[in-house]
Amino acid sequence: MKLRYIAMRLVKTVLVAIAVVLLSFFLIRLAPGDVATVMAGQAGYADEAYMKSLRAEYGLDQPMPVQLWKYVDQVAHGDLGLSYVRSQPVLTIIMERLPNTLLLDAFALVIAAVGGIWLGGTAARRPGSAVDNLTTVLAMLFYSVPQFWLGMMMMLVFAVWLNWLPPFGIETMGADYTGLARLGDVGLHILLPGMTLAFYFMASYARLTRTAMIEVAEQDFVKTARAKGISERQVARRHILRNALIPLITYAGLQASILVGGNVLVENVFSWPGVGTLAYEAVSSRDNPLLLGIFIVTAILVSLFNLITDIAYSIVDPRVELGQ
């Protein structure tokens, strides 16, 4: 049963990837002009014959279905086209930046999970207490604040006014640290953008953990555990929290697409050299193939992440069956 579930999810992921590529093909047609006009613009030279030869070279004179098939074939082979501005393959540029973004996201998600579960757990144990109310208020604030502005405020307070943390980049320029010193340097630089990204998710996780824990606490097996004479601490940790955490796995998957949006804004504020900053560079230099490539790559990565969280969920919760 479980294998079938995983196989079905795999098929779904492939279908999502295909849909993303189809959507991209039609998005290209939204932009005014085609590759030929851009190339001719760069060459500063555009008579009829030259345009025609360019269109033939890029297959733009062929019928739509043929163009679509060619596009799908290209993308399937990892060819996302050339960047207009850098004349490098789009995929190469993205892959160069991807590790920095993954590092930032991993850091943010760990902070968000640890902080959120702690806050939510504390709030659930005493509903109506100060911690509980504080969690609700903070969640409301973090849902209402523009993430890029929150980042700027963090920078203003911790980098400009207090001068505790570096405001920009991933490491100190020209310091050439190696080994542990470099790790520490990156660790200092990651704090501000990482925390900014983490706050929103921390608020969500706290609320979710709180609701789930209160729900689980009412179930019979918890009463049984108490009746057996296990200490309240053990009941909370082993029986309630463990079961309450299961929905968080699915939630992390569903939120991954929001995380990517946060990357674009927060990386840009802190000049973090990741895919998010790259998306901004693509917008400001009107590098359409690069922007579209970032959409395709991030969409496929998010759907892969969803696949992983779904499989993890099915392993943690044996009740998951096909079709859920």
Partner 1 sequence: MNFLRRFFSRPTALLGFVVFAAIVVIALAAPLIFARGPFVIVGMPLLPPGAPSLPAGSDVLGRNMMVGLAYGARVSLLVGICATLCAAGMGVLLGSVAGYYGGLVDDLLMRVTEFFQIIPAFVLLMVLVAFLQPSLESAVIGIALISWPQVARVVRGEFLSLRSREFVEAARTLGMRDAAIIFTQILPNALPPIVVISSMMVGNAILAESALSFLGLGDPNLLSWGSMIEGARSAMWVAWWTTVLPGLSIMITVLALNLIGDGLNDALNPRRGR
- Site residues for partner 1 per CB under 8 A: 16, 19-20, 27-28, 30-32, 140-141, 143-149, 152-153, 155-156, 160, 254, 257-258, 260-261, 264-265, 268, 279-280, 283-284, 286, 288, 291-292, 294-295, 298-299, 302-303, 306
Q: How far is the CB of 293 from partner 1 (least distance, A)?
A: 10
CB closer to partner 1 out of 23 and 56:
23
Tell me how far, at minimum, the Cβ of 314 lies from partner 1, in Å: 17
Task: Tell the smallest beta-carbon distance from residue 230 to partner 1 (Å).
Answer: 30
How far apart are alpha carbons 259 and 255 in whole angstroms? 6
Cβ at position 310, least distance to partner 1 in Å: 11
Nearer to partner 1, 50 or 58 (CB): 58
Supply the minimum distance, in Å, between the C-beta of residue 260 and partner 1: 4
Least distance to partner 1, CB of residue 295, Å: 5
Nearer of residues 102 and 258 to partner 1, judged by Cβ: 258
Residue 243 or 263: which CB sits closer to partner 1?
A: 263
Minimum CB distance to partner 1 smaller for 31 or for 56: 31
- The residue among 135 and 288 lying less far from partner 1, judged by its C-beta, is 288
